[in-house]
Structure 1
Amino acid sequence: MEKETSPTFSSHGQTMIGQENKIGFIYGEDIPLIAGEEQKYMWHLWGEPEELEGKFEVIGTNEETGKRVNVFETEKLGGPNNGADAHAPSSFSLPSSGIWELEAHVGNERFETLVVEVK
């Protein structure tokens, strides 16, 4: 059974996909997810300071094939941006089209999971 993609929401005039007041990245018609095409995406996270400390990494899993890839990682998050408590600029691409689950971790803890469609 196919998972539903995460909802989009608006924060400070930016359209994001994810979980409002938890995590999202800027996304939309002008910044789609296209298989094999690297794009810049700005991640935004909301939470208490202690929840947002440590390495930020995103692991992607293709729902159809089960293929797992390391999508993005950075040693630490930046400060407030676009209404979020922390942010991280990134460049990434996913290798194939379909539904992808993006599992975000901060420090060694799972923070949240987003579901996106890659064209």
Structure 2
Amino acid sequence: MLKRLGIFIFSSILLLGISGCDDAVDDKNEIWEQSPVFESGGYTMIGEEGRLGFIYDESEVMKFYPNKTQKYMWHFWGDEQELDGKFTVMATNQDDGEQVPLLTVDHLSGPNNGADRHIPSHLTLPKEGMWKLDAYIEEKLFGTIYVEVHKE
């Protein structure tokens, strides 16, 4: 009886481990798409409407190009407590998983363009392809924006 129970427990753990691997493979094969655009304060932004975004459009001035620094104004919506603290952004390339620390600022500025907080930034991504920008406030994930870096 104990032997059968031991085999059952071992088999269950093994199956959970295998299914966890399948999930990891599925995540890696997930197709990323550029985040949607939305309007706020008379500006077009890319990101999560009502949560996180930065001023962006498809003009030559605002697109991302490899190793080209551009200015972007980040906007945040939320309550005071979750918007207080250090803001950091980590960028991940979909093709090879390369991670790049993109931005770190000690605190966010006040309301702007319909958002509760904002911060100007200069951003540079090293190569073309789809990138995931994970935005953190005080090391807690606040939101994610997906952008495409175009060929020069």
Q: What range is the shorter-chain TM-score in?
A: over 0.9
Calculate percent identity across the aligned residue pairs: 46
User: What amino acid does structure 1 have at the position aligned with 2:46?
Assistant: I
Q: Does 1:7 align with 2:7?
A: no
Does the residue aligned with 1:51 lie in a helix, a strand or coil? helix
Taking structure 2 as the reference length, the TM-score comes to 0.76
> What is the RMSD of the two structures over their aligned residues, measured on CA atoms?
0.8
Structure with the larger RCO, 1 or 2 (CA within 8 Å, 6+ apart): 1
How many residue pairs were aligned? 119
Partner of 1:37: 68
Q: Measure the CA separation in 2 of the matches of 1:116 and 1:42.
A: 15
Q: Measure the CA separation in 2 of the matches of 1:69 and 1:94.
A: 8
Does the residue aligned with 2:34 lie in a helix, a strand or coil? coil
Does the residue aligned with 1:57 lie in a helix, a strand or coil? strand
Partner of 1:70: 101
Partner of 1:83: 114
Equivalent residues in 2 for 1:10-25 (5 A)?
A: 10-25=39-54
Give the CA deviation at 1:83. Answer: 0.4
Structure whose CA Rg is larger:
2
Give the CA deviation at 1:87. Answer: 0.5
Per-residue CA deviations over 1:68-113 (Å, capped at 9, x if unaligned) read: 0011110000000000000110001100010000000001211011
Unaligned runs of 5+ in 1: none
Equivalent residues in 2 for 1:72-111 (5 A)?
A: 72-111=103-142
Compare the two structures and name the one with the higher helix fraction: 2
Partner of 1:50: 81
Of the structure 1 ranges 39-48 and 1-10, higher mean CA displacement relative to structure 2 is found in: 1-10
Give the CA deviation at 1:2. Answer: 2.2
Q: Measure the CA separation in 1 of the matches of 2:36 and 2:123.
A: 20
Unaligned runs of 5+ in 2: 1-29
Runs of at least 4 residues of structure 1 off by over 2 A?
none
User: What amino acid does structure 1 have at the position aligned with 2:134?
Assistant: E
Compare the two structures and name the one with the higher strand fraction: 1
Q: Measure the CA separation in 2 of the matches of 1:99 and 1:12.
A: 27
Does the residue aligned with 1:3 lie in a helix, a strand or coil? coil
